Each structure stands twice: as C-alpha cells, then as structure tokens.
Structure 1
C-alpha cells in the first residue's frame, strides 16, 4: 500500500475492529442475559470452550488494535516534536503489548485449569 493510502488502512482497521467489538459485545450481553455463569468455575469452563476462547482472543486483539489506531492518530495530530512523539508512541505500544500478553496469559490459564 502506498504512503498516500496509509490513512485509508487506519480508517479501515478502526471500522473493522469497531464492528467486531460491537458484535462480540452483543453476543456476550445476550449470553449473560440468557445463561449467566453462576460462579468462577462456570466462568472458567465457559472461557475454556475453544470458540469462546478464540472469540475472546479476537475481541481483545481487536480492542488493542482499535486503541492503538485511535491513540496513534491523536498523538500524531497533537504531538509535534518528533522525539516526544516517538517516545509517547513507544510507551503506549509497550503498554498495549503488556496488556496483550496479560490477556493471552489469562485465556491460556483458563484452558489449562
């Protein structure tokens, strides 16, 4: 993709991740209205189901991608000195990677236990 189309890619990623976040949120909401887990063991067995675990991984990947694109655009628009911009984006990137590793750990532990 050319440099001119990078804004289009960010726009598409933002919209696609928002659609998945909405659809998965509606699924979760409907599931909890119909059959809410009663205790921690029920939550853990529900998350340990392969499709639910994959859906959660995709949900959090979409959430982190959505956050990255939004925050990146704001930082690029409002932080003009290049050194500060790179520093802020690096810190945000490391925080989001840490969040991704934490989510991965939680979902893997739900499958193991």
Structure 2
C-alpha cells in the first residue's frame, strides 16, 4: 500500500472515530441527565446491560484509535530522529494497549456481582 493510501486510512479512522465519540457522548449525557443512577447498584446494572457494554467498549476502542492516530501523526511529523520516534511510538503504543486492557477489565468486571 502506498504512503498516500496509508494517510487516507489514518484520516478516515480519525474522522470515523471522532463521529462515534461525539455521538456517544451526546447520547450518554442526554440519557444520564434524565435517568441518573441513584446508587452504585443501579449504576452497575446500567453498565451490565449488554447494549451499554458493547457501546461503551466501542467508545473506548474509538477513543484509543483516535488517540493513536493523533499521537502517531504528530510524532511522525515533528520527531525527526528515527530511533527517538520509534522509542516514543513504542512508549505511547504500549501505554494505549495497557489502557485498553484496563478499560476492558473494568467494564467486564462491572457486570459481575461480588
């Protein structure tokens, strides 16, 4: 794949993830302003709903993809020493993967009753 097509794919991922993030935030704020969970158990029941869980996981995947594309583009454009760029990309990539695993663990454990 050419360099231009790679840039187009990154551009499309950035725009698609931004649209989902915006729509999800608007929906969630709207829903929660009228149906606020009044206790921890109510909040846990809300998050344990499969539709909410899937939408929330997609939200965080979109957030991590959006962050990765943005960080990657900034580092590629402004960090010129190759080894430093690879080191920073590895650092941020590892951090985003760790955040994704932590988010998935938190969301899946929210539905488990203790």
For Structure 1 versus Structure 2, the TM-score category normalised by the shorter chain is over 0.9
TM-score, normalising length from structure 2? 0.96
Task: Give distance in 1, aligned partners of 2:9 and 2:47.
Answer: 32
After superposition, give the CA deviation of every residue in 1:38-82 in whole Å (9 maximum; x if it has no partner). 121111110000000000000000000000000110010110000
C-alpha separation between the residues in 2 aligned to 1:89 and 1:39?
41
- Cα root mean square deviation, aligned: 0.8
Unaligned stretches of 5+ residues in structure 2: none
Ranges in structure 1 where 5+ consecutive residues have no aligned partner: none
Residue 62 of structure 2: aligned partner: 62
Alignment of 1:1-113 (within 5 A): 1-113=1-113
State the distance in 1 between where 2:107 and 2:32 align. 19
Aligned positions, number = 113
| Partner Cα separation in structure 2 for residue 62 and residue 13 of structure 1 | 9
TM-score normalised to structure 1 length: 0.96
Aligned mates of 1:2, 1:49 — CA distance in 2: 42
Deviations 1:1-22 (A, max 9, x none): 4332111000000000000000
